């Protein structure tokens, strides 16, 4: 049995689905079901006895302690986090509550449980914390990619809260001996991605005939990682990672945002052409950049490859095609996540920005 937190969100849900497709080991899935947590992501597991879903907050120590005592997992994989930079700028409090206080309370609950295990189970137990490359700050155009030894220089409330959570995990290992692993990933994309992030937002807006808002000059560079590759990396780190170590997970795909948008437009031109015959790229609209927008992220994932033999299976070209096709094939999922609250957020974030 493993316990997954945040397992109804984008990356967490993909991990749970992939885990149960690969092995029969059951999963207890704890998710608060905020706006980005979606039970529909897990619809294919309805009636599957290997999946136990519990709605709750990692900050609820009593609940977490109860789940650990009842189900006795051999590992905890922590995906639970507030993760959108724009939302953290507008409301940092929730990010501190979940990413910092929530991680602290989860660590304390896990430490209490782990300390009671028999020696063999104690030695085998793992706490894997899933984090982000944004904790490292921003790179200049000619800087080498982020390695695990880079110092932390977070620039947004989101990345600062994740950096704090990483430090807590490290401290609980060095102070208490808790057997932890940390992964820092680059920008994920793929199925079930909530359409506030770049790629799904472009797909959804394009199909709806709406503007495709691009921040600033669109030349912000990110490393793009297909979510199922990320899931396979986490499984590998959980299986064989060295205790207390951090592993960077990247897709070896550095691309500027505007190139991502134009690639999505070209795929939609091919797979779902506009009725008027015009290219989707005609909908691109440059808007005022967001405050403190990091210019470049890049991940050096050589440690993960050298130590554990992991490399991504997808190129960006294969992964983005699968992603666009998934959104075209799942219009009901897209429609259901676009609630009134989501529409209000998009209006707040983009509609009032000067072109």
Q: How many angstroms separate the CA atoms of 253 and 304, rounded? A: 16
Per DSSP, the residues of 251-316 read -S-EEEHHHHHHHHHHHHHHHS--TT---GGGGEEEEPPPTT---B--B--HHHHHHH----S--H
Query: What is the pTM for the complete model shown?
Result: 0.93
In the numeric block, the tokens 């907050």 are attached to 57
120: number of Cβ within 10 Å: 8
Q: How many helices (H) and strands (E) does the chain have?
A: 14, 12
In the numeric block, the tokens 């294919």 are attached to 44
Catalytic residues: 133-134, 158
pLDDT one digit per residue (tens) for the chain, 355 residues: 999 999 999 999 999 999 999 999 999 999 998 877 889 999 999 999 999 999 999 999 999 999 999 999 999 999 998 866 777 787 888 889 899 999 999 999 999 999 999 999 999 999 999 999 999 999 999 999 999 999 999 999 999 999 999 999 999 999 999 999 999 999 999 999 988 789 999 999 999 999 999 999 999 999 999 999 999 999 999 999 999 999 999 999 999 999 999 999 999 999 999 999 999 999 999 999 878 788 999 999 999 999 999 999 999 999 999 999 999 999 999 988 876 454 454 455 545 555 5
Terminal Cα distance for the chain, rounded: 51
Assess contact for 102 and 57: CB atoms under 8 A. Answer: yes
């Amino acid at each position: 049995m493993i316990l997954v937190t945040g397992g109804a969100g984008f990356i967490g849900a993909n991990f749970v689905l992939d885990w149960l497709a690969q092995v029969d080991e059951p999963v207890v899935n704890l998710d608060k079901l905020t706006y980005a947590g979606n039970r529909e992501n897990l619809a294919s597991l309805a009636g599957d006895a290997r999946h136990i879903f519990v709605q709750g907050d990692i900050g609820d120590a009593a609940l977490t302690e109860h789940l650990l005592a009842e189900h006795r997992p051999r590992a905890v994989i922590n995906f639970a986090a507030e993760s959108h930079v724009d939302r953290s700028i507008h409301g940092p409090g929730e990010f501190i509550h979940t990413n910092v206080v929530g991680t602290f309370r989860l660590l304390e609950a896990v430490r209490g449980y782990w300390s009671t295990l028999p020696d063999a189970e104690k030695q085998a137990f793992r706490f894997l914390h899933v984090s982000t490359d944004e904790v490292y700050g921003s790179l200049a155009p000619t800087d080498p990619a982020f390695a695990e030894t880079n110092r932390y220089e977070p620039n947004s409330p989101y990345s600062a809260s994740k950096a704090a959570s990483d430090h807590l995990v490290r401290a609980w290992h060095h102070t208490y001996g808790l057997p932890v692993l940390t992964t820092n990933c680059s920008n994920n994309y793929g199925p079930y991605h909530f359409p506030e992030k770049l790629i799904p937002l472009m797909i959804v807006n394009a199909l709806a005939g709406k503007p495709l808002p691009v921040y600033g000059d669109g030349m912000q560079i990110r490393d793009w990682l297909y979510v199922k590759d990320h899931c396979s990396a986490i499984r590998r780190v959980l299986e064989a990672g060295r205790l207390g170590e951090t592993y960077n997970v990247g897709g070896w795909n550095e691309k500027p945002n505007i190139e991502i948008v134009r690639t999505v437009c070209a795929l939609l031109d091919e797979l779902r052409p506009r009725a008027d015959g015009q290219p989707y790229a005609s909908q691109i609209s440059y808007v005022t950049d967001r405050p403190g927008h990091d210019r470049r992220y890049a991940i050096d994932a050589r440690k993960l490859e050298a130590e554990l033999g992991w490399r991504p299976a997808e190129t960006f070209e294969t992964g983005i095609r699968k992603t666009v096709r998934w959104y075209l094939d799942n219009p009901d999922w897209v429609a259901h996540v676009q609630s009134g609250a989501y529409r209000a957020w998009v209006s707040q974030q983009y509609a009032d920005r000067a072109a």
